Structure formats: structure tokens, C-alpha cells
Amino acid sequence: MTKYIFVTGGVASALGKGIVSASIGRLLKSRGLRVTLLKFDPYVNVDAGTMNPYQHGEVFVTEDGAETDMDLGHYERFIDENLTRDNNVTTGKIYFSVISRERRGEYLGATVQIIPHVTNEIKEAIREVGRKAQADVVIVEVGGTVGDIEGLPFLEAIRQFRHNVGEENVMYIHVSLVPYLKTVGELKTKPTQHSVKELRSIGIQPDVIVCRTELPLQRSIKEKIALFCDVPLEAVIQAIDVETIYEVPLILEEEGLTDIIVRRLGISCGEPRLEEWRELVNRIKNPHHEVTIALVGKYMGGGDTYVSIVEALHHGGIANRTKVKILKVDSEDLERLDDSGIAARLGGCDGVLVAPGFGDRGVEGKVKAIKFCREHDVPFFGVCYGMQWAVVEFARNVCGLHGANTTEVDPHTPYPVIDLLPEQKGVTEKGGTMRLGSFPCRIEPGSLAFQAYQEEVVFERHRHRYEVNNAYLPLLTSKGLRVSGVYPEKNLAEIIELPGHTWFLGTQFHAEYRSRPNAPHPLYREFIRAALYQARRRKAVKEEAIRGREQYVMRDEP
Ligand code: GLN
């Protein structure tokens, strides 16, 4: 019998409900259970693909090419398993399916309503992921905050679900905020009380309350929450701020959360096996080295717009026992700078990653960053749009193709070195029509890419419309650009490198989506290794300069 855990959120967004859900997944898996996760997003978009990453963070792409909510990235990284398009369900997707059914006549004779038709569709989505993953436990995170109008059908569906599969198979976990009011020096429970009251008014009584807090919750605070929210004292779980998100499973385990879940759902399972995870956290917290990576992109305001890249950089750090400091650089700011300004901005970094993106804002800043790396032998990693702009920069500044561009930005460029494939040219709809999901890539032996992967064929996830234009490859390669990864079926350039440079590599795909803390992606691992080399080289140059100055001073002094 499959068990179901529903995770809801109260008081505020961005409480880390996704990380809590992912952590529960890891903890149950560590007890030998088969788990899967499902994210409900109450917005009307069919998927996250058409949204600006400022809205809900990055768009995460699954193996099967779904453009999903960024929480799926956390889920995959924590449970170390690939998820599919079924693991993210939006209001748009539910309605799309209900309306299509109605048009096909599947409800013939009936008035189609939120209850039962929409709620049935939602419940079916829950059962479906459990079935497909043959899961012992399905963890369902309901996006948004309890009290939002658009979340109501989802909450109603998870309420009914208990009725359908039996109380003993379902539990509700509410993630809430216990804010600290500095002026009075107190932690406040009232917002949590209100949010639970709201949840109960729609018929859901939480079994556990996970309290996000900056400070430890004293027993009296826990007692108050237990009393007013009607949960046992031990079911008030403290989730205190931690140094690294990968520590969250450990603090939840310590608070006894897994024991409560296992007992409440009557699951028989083994003891937790968290040694590997503990060792991982230990490595993160005790690095031997440090590097600074400039992350150059145009979505710099929000915190989560490049979350998979940021995590993959940290994973690369774990592999090299290195703390990775990330300097976020807005590519639009770079546009205004001259060469010395760029050097001042990026010269203190040990590596530069130029991020994915769309459209023309900030692209010339990306070009300047890439040129700086190429000319000064600074480790460079170009991801998707970042790789495309590395090709444009090379075409312009090395091959002399003035005005070279991607047709995404300049449809009339004389040198369209990045262009649409013929099959993309007729596409007018924007939703789900890019080159999406996993494709094979053949790696050329002797390349940086091969050094990283040690494999001839790899599979990586894509999300783009444009490609390197093969018509320019003879010129680009004759001037020193190397194509070290190719999609064999269509002969598309997937990885480019610059031989002779310490580490200059761009990928048309997004390696970051496959990186896991316990299995850092080889390209990110090697990029950080190159950055470490650059850090040592910079230090040596600095020491040399100091020694030079000392000698100079010694010689000149009377
Ligand atoms: N805008 C580019 C394209 O569509 C790159 C997309 C990306 O960086 N994900 O091809």
C-alpha cells in the first residue's frame, strides 16, 4: 500500500518548503524506502517554460524534456533520482486535461465542475506518480501559501484523498514561519496559529508542523504551537537556518521527523543510513581551498534564477574540497565598461561562467566577459546561451566576421553563426517547443570534455531553440575553435573548446541539471579544478610581485 505525505506552506513564500520536501524524500530513502515527489503549482501556466525566472526561480528541465518548477531540481539532487513531466502539475495542466476531456465528450451529460471533476483530475495525478514510480511513499508539495485562492482546488483534493485511501495512509505536514521580532526579542507563534487555523477551516488538520526559524525554539514556544495547532509536542519540528541546504535532512532527522512519519503511517523499514550524507555535509563545511567564480548573467535580482548552476558549482567544489564563492555579475553592467574596467571587475575571479538566457538584454556584456577570459587565459564555462556567445565572440574577434551574431538577436546579421534549424523556423507557439530534454552527445577523445567525462557518449539535457550554424564550422575550426562534442544524428555542435587555453569550454546543453551533491557533474568538477589552478597561479603572480617590490625596495634603499 502506497503512503502519501502532503506538504503545505503557511505564512510566507520562500520558506524552503521544497527543500523540506526533498529532505523528507532523502530521509525516507535512507531508510530503504522507495520514494517519489510531486510538486503542485497553482498557477495557470501549463508549465514553467514560458515564465521569466524572476517569477518562480529557474526553469528546471527533466530527462524527458519537461520544463518544470525549480523544486524538481532540489528533489532530484536530494533523492538522487531522475523525475519526469508527471512530477510537476500546474493548474494549467489540470484544466487543459479537464477541458480536453470535456471536448472529447468524456463527461457527456454532466456539468463539469471544480468538485468533483477538477479535484478528481488532481487526485489521479497523485496516484499516477505513485504507480509509475512504484513508490512506497509519495511526497506531494503544494506550491503557494495556504490562504491563496488559486491553491484551493489542490487543498480540497488532498483533503478528499485521505477520505479515499484511508487516514492511516495519509499525513499532512505544514511548513510555517516562526519569526523573530528583534524589537521585543521574541519568537512569535501567532502567524503559525493563524495559518493552521486557515488550513483547518478547509478540513485539513496537520500532523506535523515544521517551523522555519532563525533561532532555536524554546520548549515553551513548541508547547504553545502544539496546544493551539492541536499536534503532539514532538510533532512541532524546528527547522533552523543552516549553513548549507544539504544539512536540512540531518537537522530534521535529529528533530525526530522521520520517526514520527514512520510511526504515523505505520511503515516498517530499516534504520536510517545517513553516513554518506553526513560525510558530504562534513566535506562542504570543511573545505581545504577556496575559489571565486564570476557568474555572468542577466537575471541577477532574484535569488533562485540560476539555482541549478549555483548548486552544480558547489558540487564541483565538493569534488575538489573547495569552497566556491560566487560573484554574481550583471552582464548589462559589463556593457558599459572598457577593457580595463572589465579586467578590474573580473580580474579577481578564478573562473567565469556565462549563464544561459534569451533575448538581447546584456548580451554585449557577455561578449566582453568571454573576450576577457579568452585573451587572459581565465577558466571559462559557457552554458547554452553562454556557449553561443562564445562562438559569436570568436567569430567576431578571431575570425574577423564583424557583425557576427545569433539570429535570435539580429535576424539580419551578415554572419549568422548561431541560427535556427530548419525545423524550428516554422514554429510559432512558444510553450514546450524548444529542443528539450536529454540527447546523446559524442565526445571527442583527447579533448577537455573527454578528460572530464572519460566516456565516448554522454546524455545531457537541453533547452534552446538556436544552434551553432554548421556553415561556419570550417572557418571557426580553421582558426582554432574545437568542437569536442557532437549530437551524431543531426551533426550539431554540442561542446566547443579552445585548445591552448587552460580551460575554455562551452556546452549547448545544461550540464547543471544532472549534477548531484554526491555525484558532481564532471564538467563542473573540472571547471572548479581549473579555477583552483588559476587561484594558485594568481597567488604566485602576486607573491612574485611582492618579492619583486621587496627586491626593488632593498636595492634602492641606501
Ligand atoms: N536563447 C538561446 C536559444 O534559444 C539559448 C537558450 C538557453 O540559454 N537556455 O537557443
pLDDT tens by residue, 111-158: 999 999 999 999 999 999 999 999 999 999 999 999 999 999 999 999
Check: CB of residue 353 under 8 Å from CB of residue 294. yes
Backbone φ and ψ for 440, nearest 5 degrees, come out as -75, 150
User: What is the structure's pLDDT at 299?
Assistant: 80
Task: Tell me the CA–centroid distance for residue 16 and ligand 1, in Å.
Answer: 28
| Same domain? 298 vs 423 | yes
What cell was used for 454? 572519460
Beta strand pairing status for 482-487 and 170-177?
unpaired
| Same domain? 258 vs 295 | no
Find residue 360's DSSP bridge partners. none
Lowest mean pLDDT of 54-63, 412-421, 544-553, name the range: 544-553
CATH no. for residue 16?
3.40.50.300
- Of the CA atoms within 13 Å of residue 49, those in its CB half-sphere come to 25
| Same domain? 406 vs 466 | yes
Other CB atoms within a 10 A radius of the CB of residue 191 amount to 15
Does any domain span residue 551?
no
* Nearby residues of 46 by Cβ (< 8 Å), 6 or more positions away: 90, 92, 93, 96, 431, 432
User: What is the structure's pLDDT at 51?
Assistant: 87
Query: What is the DSSP annotation of 83-95?
Result: --GGGEEEHHHHH
Lowest mean pLDDT of 52-61, 85-94, 150-159, 453-462, name the range: 52-61
| Same domain? 275 vs 292 | no
Domain end, chosen from 220, 245, 279, is at: 279
Does any domain span residue 553?
no
Backbone φ and ψ for 180, nearest 5 degrees, come out as -105, 125
| Same domain? 262 vs 297 | no
| Same domain? 349 vs 238 | no
Which positions are catalytic?
384, 510, 512
The total domain count for the chain is 2
CATH no. for residue 309?
3.40.50.880
Mean pLDDT of the chain: 95
Name the DSSP class of 218: P
Task: Tell me the CA–centroid distance for residue 172 and ligand 1, in Å.
Answer: 39
Lowest mean pLDDT of 41-50, 455-464, 501-510, name the range: 41-50
Domain end, chosen from 227, 259, 279, is at: 279
Task: Tell me the residue range of the domain where 39 lies.
Answer: 3-279
User: What is the structure's pLDDT at 555?
Assistant: 55
Closest approach atom of ligand 1 to CA 358:
1
pLDDT tens by residue, 296-351: 998 887 678 999 999 999 999 999 999 999 999 999 999 999 999 999 999 999 99
pLDDT tens by residue, 366-390: 999 999 999 999 999 999 999 999 9
Check: CB of residue 375 under 8 Å from CB of residue 397. no
Alpha-helical segments (H) within 255-336: 257-265, 275-285, 307-319, 331-335
Task: Tell me the CA–centroid distance for residue 385 and ligand 1, in Å.
Answer: 5
Check: CB of residue 136 under 8 Å from CB of residue 35. yes
| Same domain? 246 vs 339 | no
* Nearby residues of 196 by Cβ (< 8 Å), 6 or more positions away: 10, 174, 176, 206, 209, 228, 229, 230
- From 391, 418, 464, 507, give the residue whose CB has the most ligand 1 atoms within 8 Å, as the site to mutate: 464
Beta strand pairing status for 137-142 and 416-420?
unpaired
Closest approach atom of ligand 1 to CA 355:
8
**Of 20, 82, 69, 64, residue with least CA distance to 42:** 69
| Same domain? 361 vs 261 | no
CB burial readout 368-380, b (16+ within 10 A) else e = bbbbbbbeeebbb
Work out the widest C-alpha separation in the chain, in whole angstroms.
105
Indicate the angle between helix axes 219-229 and 190-201, nearest 10 degrees: 20
User: What is the structure's pLDDT at 413?
Assistant: 98
Closest approach atom of ligand 1 to CA 384:
8
Q: What is the band of 224 on the pLDDT scale with cuts at 50, 70, 90?
A: very high
- Round to whole Å and give the CA distance between 264 and 282: 31
Does any domain span residue 82?
yes
Q: What is the band of 422 on the pLDDT scale with cuts at 50, 70, 90?
A: confident
User: What is the structure's pLDDT at 558?
Assistant: 45
Check: CB of residue 248 under 8 Å from CB of residue 16. yes
Q: What is the band of 56 on the pLDDT scale with cuts at 50, 70, 90?
A: confident
Beta strand pairing status for 289-297 and 322-330?
parallel
What cell was used for 290? 577556496
User: What is the structure's pLDDT at 486?
Assistant: 98
| Closest residue by CA, ligand 1 atom 3 | 464
pLDDT tens by residue, 99-111: 999 999 999 899 9
| Same domain? 272 vs 294 | no
- From 388, 405, 427, 510, give the residue whose CB has the most ligand 1 atoms within 8 Å, as the site to mutate: 388
Flag whether pLDDT at 556 surpasses 60: no
User: What is the structure's pLDDT at 11?
Assistant: 83
What cell was used for 444? 571527442
- Round to whole Å and give the CA distance between 268 and 202: 31
The CA angle 354-357-358, to the nearest 5 degrees, is 145
Other CB atoms within a 10 A radius of the CB of residue 351 amount to 29
**Ligand 1 cavity residues, CB under 6 Å:** 356-358, 384-385, 408, 463-466
What cell was used for 81? 533520482
Closest approach atom of ligand 1 to CA 408:
1
Indicate the angle between helix axes 119-133 and 91-104, nearest 10 degrees: 110
| Closest residue by CA, ligand 1 atom 8 | 356
**Of 126, 107, 108, 104, residue with least CA distance to 116:** 107
Flag whether pLDDT at 57 surpasses 80: yes
- Round to whole Å and give the CA distance between 141 and 118: 18
| Same domain? 65 vs 213 | yes
| Same domain? 213 vs 303 | no
Task: Tell me the CA–centroid distance for residue 309 and ligand 1, in Å.
Answer: 15
Most confident of 43-52, 425-434, 461-470: 461-470
Task: Tell me the CA–centroid distance for residue 466 and ligand 1, in Å.
Answer: 6
Domain end, chosen from 279, 297, 313, is at: 279
User: What is the structure's pLDDT at 341?
Assistant: 96
Does any domain span residue 545?
no
- Round to whole Å and give the CA distance between 151 and 468: 42
Does any domain span residue 554?
no
With 0-12 / 13-18 / 19 or more C-beta atoms within 10 angstroms meaning exposed / middle / buried, residue 283 is middle
In which residue are the cell numbers 562534442 written? 485
Does any domain span residue 383?
yes
What's the whole-model pTM score?
0.94
**Of 78, 14, 485, residue with least CA distance to 281:** 78
Does any domain span residue 97?
yes
- Percent above pLDDT 70 for the chain: 98
User: What is the structure's pLDDT at 276?
Assistant: 95
Does any domain span residue 327?
yes
Task: Round the CA-based radius of gyration of the chain to a whole number and report it.
Answer: 26
pLDDT tens by residue, 67-109: 999 999 999 999 999 999 999 999 999 999 999 999 999 998 9
| Same domain? 444 vs 468 | yes
